[in-house]
């Protein structure tokens, strides 16, 4: 049989070698828009540099804490953002996370209950009630004693508006200086006791020190 001659590779194909540089050079150049250049030029280093630039003093809601601390003298302290100004122009702290004891009552009934408990404690010196009520009324009792230590007519009228019995207010203002003159706070004491029979509610004694 006659042997067919072997096909030799084309000299044009064998002479040329495919390279990525030559392929890119053969492709037409495309014009990229400004937005495309902005997207392609993003890098984490550039983002970190932009984040480290100081923010404006008029708007700092999205700024990190480090930039908030490096603002101007009028807004240099982070504490200024944690305080608010009330109607009288006084600077008070914001009430974050301060839960008001509801005592399973609407606001008007809850206030009446606390006024009655405060009146009874100032009248008898020691009462027994549930532990949540004792903790809720403690600040009102100490507030009344603080008003009595001031002794002014305005403070007396404030106490008369809260305590139900007037003679208790006059007796409190007359005797508080001798009893709590040297004490700057902590006028009450809460002593836990056995739970209430029936509903097993936690009970406690609250008394004047």
- Is 0.75 surpassed by the pTM of this model? no
Is residue 185 located within the same domain as residue 148?
yes
Please report whether residue 55 resides in a domain. Answer: no
The pLDDT of residue 44 is 55
Is residue 90 located within the same domain as residue 148?
no
Closest CA to 173 of 130, 115, 208, 122: 122
Is residue 80 located within the same domain as residue 142?
no
Is residue 156 located within the same domain as residue 186?
yes
The pLDDT of residue 59 is 38
Please report whether residue 185 resides in a domain. Answer: yes
Closest CA to 202 of 130, 94, 121, 116: 130
Of 22-36, 126-140, 178-192, give the lowest mean pLDDT range.
22-36
The pLDDT of residue 135 is 96
Checking DSSP bridges between strand 203-208 and strand 91-93, what pairing results, if any?
unpaired
Domain that holds residue 197: 107-208
Query: In CATH, what number is assigned to the domain containing residue 200?
Result: 3.90.1030.10
Segment 102-146, tens digit of pLDDT = 999 999 999 999 999 999 999 999 999 999 999 999 999 999 999
58, pLDDT greater than 50:
no
Please report whether residue 51 resides in a domain. Answer: no
Confidence of residue 73 (pLDDT cuts 50, 70, 90): very low
The pLDDT of residue 99 is 80
Of 4-8, 24-28, 116-120, give the lowest mean pLDDT range.
4-8
Map tokens 């990525």 to a residue: 20
The pLDDT of residue 61 is 43
Of 2-6, 56-60, 163-167, give the lowest mean pLDDT range.
56-60
Confidence of residue 2 (pLDDT cuts 50, 70, 90): low
Q: CA-to-CA distance for 89 and 81, rounded, in angstroms?
A: 16
Is residue 112 located within the same domain as residue 155?
yes
Domain final residue, candidates 74, 95, 116:
95
Confidence of residue 20 (pLDDT cuts 50, 70, 90): low
Is residue 152 located within the same domain as residue 187?
yes
Q: How many domains does the chain have?
A: 2
Is residue 136 located within the same domain as residue 169?
yes
Is residue 90 located within the same domain as residue 175?
no
Is residue 75 located within the same domain as residue 121?
no
Is residue 133 located within the same domain as residue 86?
no
Please report whether residue 13 resides in a domain. Answer: no
What CA–CA distances, in Å, run from 64 to 51, 82, 177? 8, 16, 51
Is residue 111 located within the same domain as residue 204?
yes
Which helix (H) or strand (E) segment holds residue 138: the answer is helix 131-150
Closest CA to 126 of 29, 204, 186, 68: 204
Is residue 125 located within the same domain as residue 176?
yes
């Amino acid at each position: 049989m006659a042997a067919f001659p072997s096909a030799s590779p084309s000299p044009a194909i064998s002479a040329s070698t495919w390279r990525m540089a030559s392929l890119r050079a053969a492709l037409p150049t495309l014009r990229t828009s400004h937005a495309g250049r902005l997207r392609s030029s993003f890098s984490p280093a550039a983002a970190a540099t932009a984040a480290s630039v100081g923010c404006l003093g008029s708007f700092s809601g999205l700024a990190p804490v480090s930039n908030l601390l490096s603002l101007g003298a009028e807004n240099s302290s982070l504490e200024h953002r944690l305080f608010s100004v009330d109607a009288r122009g006084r600077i008070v702290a914001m009430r974050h996370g301060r839960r008001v004891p509801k005592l399973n009552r609407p606001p008007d009934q809850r206030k009446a209950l606390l006024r009655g408990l405060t009146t009874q404690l100032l009248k008898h010196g020691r009462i027994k009630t549930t532990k949540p009520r004792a903790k809720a009324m403690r600040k009102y009792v100490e507030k009344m004693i603080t008003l009595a230590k001031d002794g002014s007519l305005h403070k007396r009228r404030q106490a008369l508006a809260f305590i139900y019995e007037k003679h208790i207010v006059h007796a409190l203002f007359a005797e508080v200086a001798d009893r709590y003159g040297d004490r700057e706070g902590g006028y009450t004491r809460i002593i836990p006791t056995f739970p209430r029979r029936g509903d097993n509610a936690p009970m406690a004694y609250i008394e004047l020190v």
